[in-house]
């Protein structure tokens, strides 16, 4: 893969785009501003990933040596210039939509920079911020299509699923983070506490997520795919509680990502607009 594409982690950026498309599907609003919103979240998310790699290149040399900067495919300086170019473009596109979307894009970019520069090494605060930004992408979409209340519900569950994966990822990266002096939850309190915390998020999200159907946010078509995601999350919770090794944390992290994708599909299937196409 081209290193300039790889450094923005297009898979993660596309997941952010899906949050906008889901809000469009739920509201039934599809217009040019939705297209612009997709571009904004893709580019700003790409900035966040690139600036994170810029600051984390020493840690990545230990944990992820194949990434563009530690592998030498992009210089450290080039990565910095590229990241800020993405930020400027994403923010300007946000203001083209309207004032509030522009301010959200600007605030998100600044928070991503602060996270990469400082907060990532602070226990739980960095995890909370990344999870908040993930949920905020739904709210951003809700602002653009005029479905703010629904976007807050979906954003909350996006926050929960991201939080569980962030903690598991810290368990996976504990060796490199420790060498760089990071103060993550596994380093400060150990793998046992981290596994319990991650599992708690998995269990809470799994047990409460059906409420989106019962309060009328999503239709009954939401439940079958959600059931699959719940099985994945609960099995991940059991696995991480039984085996707290770095290797298993990596496996559970991948499993959670699959569960997150299925949850997004469940959101889509349960949206009133999509459901109306089949009724």
Average pLDDT over residues 109-115: 93
Backbone angles phi, psi at 165, to 5 degrees: -70, -35
pLDDT at 177: 75
The gap from C-alpha 135 to its chain's centroid, in whole angstroms, comes to 8
Q: What is the mean pLDDT of the chain?
A: 90
What is d(CA 27, CA 153) in angstroms, rounded to the nearest whole number?
Answer: 14
Count of the separate structural domains present in the chain: 1
Q: What tens digit of pLDDT does each residue of 21-64 get? A: 989 988 888 899 999 999 999 999 999 999 988 988 777 777 77
Q: What tens digit of pLDDT does each residue of 268-278 get? A: 888 877 767 66
Contact 52, 115 (CB under 8 A): yes
Q: Quote the percentage of the chain above a pLDDT of 70.
A: 97
pTM of the model: 0.86
Q: How big, in percent rounded to 5, are the helix, strand and coil portions of the chain?
A: 80, 0, 20
Average pLDDT over residues 221-227: 95
Using 50, 70 and 90 to split pLDDT, how confident is the model at 17?
very high
Contact 69, 60 (CB under 8 A): yes
Contact 110, 95 (CB under 8 A): no
Any idea which of 50-64, 89-103, 250-264 has the lowest mean pLDDT?
50-64
pLDDT at 71: 84
Contact 195, 252 (CB under 8 A): no
What is d(CA 262, CA 138) in angstroms, rounded to the nearest whole number?
Answer: 16
What is d(CA 102, CA 92) in angstroms, rounded to the nearest whole number?
Answer: 7
pLDDT at 275: 67
**How many other CB atoms sit within 10 Å of the CB of residue 57?**
17
What is d(CA 130, CA 217) in angstroms, rounded to the nearest whole number?
Answer: 25
Q: Can you spell out the DSSP letters for 1-37?
A: --HHHHTT-HHHHHHHHHHHHHHHHHHT--SHHHHHH
pLDDT at 122: 74
The parent domain of residue 150 ranges over 3-276
Tokens of 132: 């908040």
Read off the CATH number of the domain in which 214 is found.
1.10.357.140
Angle formed by the axes of helices 148-172 and 10-27, to 10°?
160
What is d(CA 159, CA 248) in angstroms, rounded to the nearest whole number?
Answer: 23
């Amino acid at each position: 893969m081209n290193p300039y594409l790889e450094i923005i982690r297009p898979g993660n950026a596309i997941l952010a785009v899906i949050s906008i498309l889901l809000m469009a599907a739920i509201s039934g609003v599809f217009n040019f501003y939705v297209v612009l919103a997709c571009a904004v979240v893709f580019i700003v998310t790409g900035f966040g990933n690139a600036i994170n790699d810029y600051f984390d290149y020493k840690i990545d040399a230990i944990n992820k040596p194949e990434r563009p900067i530690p592998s030498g495919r992009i210089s450290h300086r080039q990565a910095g210039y590229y990241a800020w170019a993405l930020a400027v473009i994403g923010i300007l596109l946000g203001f083209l939509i309207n004032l509030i979307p522009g301010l959200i894009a600007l605030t998100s970019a600044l928070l991503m920079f602060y996270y990469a520069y400082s907060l990532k090494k602070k226990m739980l605060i960095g995890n909370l911020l990344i999870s908040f930004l993930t949920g905020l992408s739904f709210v951003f979409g809700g602002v653009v299509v005029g479905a703010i209340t629904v976007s807050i519900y979906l954003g909350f569950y996006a926050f929960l699923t991201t939080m569980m994966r962030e903690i598991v990822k810290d368990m996976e990266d504990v060796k490199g983070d420790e060498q760089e002096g990071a103060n993550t939850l596994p380093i400060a309190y150990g793998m046992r506490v981290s596994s319990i915390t991650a599992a708690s998020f998995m269990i809470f999200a799994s047990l409460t997520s059906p409420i989106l159907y019962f309060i009328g946010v999503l239709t009954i078509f939401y439940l079958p795919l959600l059931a699959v995601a719940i099985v994945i999350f609960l099995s991940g919770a059991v696995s991480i509680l039984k085996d707290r090794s770095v290797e298993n944390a990596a496996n559970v992290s991948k499993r959670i990502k699959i569960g997150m994708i299925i949850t997004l599909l469940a959101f889509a299937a349960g949206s009133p607009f999509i459901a109306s196409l089949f009724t």
